[in-house]
Chains A and B, each alone.
Chain A
Amino acid sequence: MSRLSGFTNRWLVFLTALVLWQLATAASDNVFFPTPWQIIHHGWSLWFTTADGGFGLSDSIFEDVLPSTARAVGGWAIAAAIGITLGAALGRSRTGMQYVEPLFAFFRALPSPALLPVFIGLIGIGSDMKLSLIAFSCIWPVLMNTVDGVRSVDSVKTDTARSFGTPRTQWVAMVVLPAALPKIFAGLRLSLSIAVILMVVSELVGESSGIGANLVDAKAAFDFLSMWAWIVLIGIIGYVLNLALLAVERRALRWQPTRAAVASAKQTTKAGG
């Protein structure tokens, strides 16, 4: 009952905003602000209409949308693999982190878009550069959160595992990593939004394929309808990716008590004592 109303409330606000946006843009005749309906309509013709005018995935899906999304997800996945492995190793080693901490703090503080020229200089303007830039930017939240997470293993759990003579691999796989998992996921979610940002930023110069490239091209050609359509698409991609990650996270952390369970447990304790 409360879940349902929460759901409708959320979408009610969204729909209201959409309607207001529609009304406001329909009332004005500023070409820079097309109505949402026009944007959706245009997006449909951009991505879901084939060359012969029928329904289907357009070339743009295969030439722009999928390659860009694949780079974002790929770069993020590379960052996740490196970040978790390196973070776990550094976090468990006593001195490792002391050496590299200042270096990491420096890299993390750099706004990644500013590194675009550096990456172009180093790697050139290809897909590799984009992938590397995304991976590089995504690594830091995962890495730092993993370091934090693997360090937070409770001392009683450490003693328990040691008292059973737990071998190292089991110790890492069944104690250290699960204990760090909530923090690791927090890092992964942060990185995912960074990946989407860098997906766009990395395409702002050079070639003319990809979501970001299409966005600047549309702007340069005063094709505001296309520009808005691409912006909406970026929003949808970010939203869907985040939703997918949340589903994975919920599955991986299903051992954690739900918020409702914690609340009801607190209630019983209060009532009992």
Chain B
Amino acid sequence: MPTMLEVRGLAHRYGSYAAVENLSFTVAEDELACIVGPSGCGKSTLLRCVAGLIKPTAGGVTLHGDPVDGVPADLAVVFQDYSRSLFPWLSVRGNVEFPLRTRVSNRTERRKRAEEALAWVGLEAAGSKYPWQLSGGMQQRVSIARALACKPALLLMDEPFASVDAQTRADLEDLLLRVRREHGSTVLLVTHDIDESVYLGDRVLVLSKSPASIVADLTVTLPAQRDQIATRGSARFVELRTEIARLLHDRPGAPPPPNAANSDALAAERFLAAEREEARQQSSH
């Protein structure tokens, strides 16, 4: 299968703090790849580099052959924090139409695309509501519909189901699997939940503690059709999750923590670097 995304030698530093170091992997077309790693290891940083939201300090990203410089046109991101990612002043339909304004010039066509995307996530009846009138799970479905409406070549998801309750989470996971089967989407999904990565992924990339680098690239040899109860109970599933858990926890630790004064200085430096970064991005917008 042709390669959709290629990440090569990617590194990102906030000031002198290395969040991501020398990361390389590829994602094939139509593949759902999960990235799993401990909290704070640099998963979001990696995703933001891929999305072109921040510039990597070294290395590069190519999306179906084109180097990513700035935000690629045929890419969409679903953020963890749906309540902050949706625009509260737009109706549900308005939110889904938001990215389409530049992509579909005809109004009725745009409206149709939005309705279609809402139907994919089972929200055809909620179009004229405002986001705050929906439950958390429904709001995250709206942001998934908004991303899908763009028909992105690559869908990036940053812990998309981390802020909803367990039942909603299972529903959303199945919804993602169904939608991507129906539309043949390529997905790169970040999570810190080992079970979720195995349940959803065709492949699981395991990241080390900060600075993130890839410690394993596992192919999930589970039947394509997943089921919340049968799949999670299967021997192969348990084997895979145990293997990943071991990879995550038995790693020889990160370099010894610097002494307190030093780490204060480091934190301050990171903070300043982040401010500069933000200022740069604001001015570039």
A-to-B contact residues, CB < 8 Å: 92, 94, 154-160, 162-168, 170-171, 174-175, 178-179, 181, 255-257, 261, 265
Contact = CB atoms under 8 A, between A and B. Distances in A.
B151 to A, nearest CB: 13
Nearest to A153: B282
Given A94-B279, A162-B71, A164-B150, A255 B90 contact: yes
A174 B130 contact: no
A156 B79 contact: yes
B51 interface: yes
Given A154-B84, A178-B87, A163 B285 contact: no
B162 to A, nearest CB: 14
Contact of A156 (B84, B90, B279, B282): B84
B130 A255 contact: yes
Residue among A159, A160, A261, A265 with the highest chain B CB neighbour number at 10 A:
A160
Interface in B73-94: 73, 75-77, 79, 81, 84-85, 87-91
B283 interface: yes
Contacts of B283: 94
A103 to B, nearest CB: 23
Contact of B99 (A156, A159, A166, A178): A166
Contacts of A94: 279, 282-283
Given A164-B76, A170-B101, A175 B85 contact: no
A184 B123 CA distance: 33
A181 B79 contact: no
B17 interface: no
B237 interface: no
Contacts of A158: 281, 285
Contact of B90 (A155, A168, A174, A265): A174
Interface in B112-153: 130, 132-133, 150
B102 A166 contact: yes
A165 B278 CA distance: 17
Nearest to B156: A163
B77 to A, nearest CB: 4
Contacts of B102: 164-167, 170
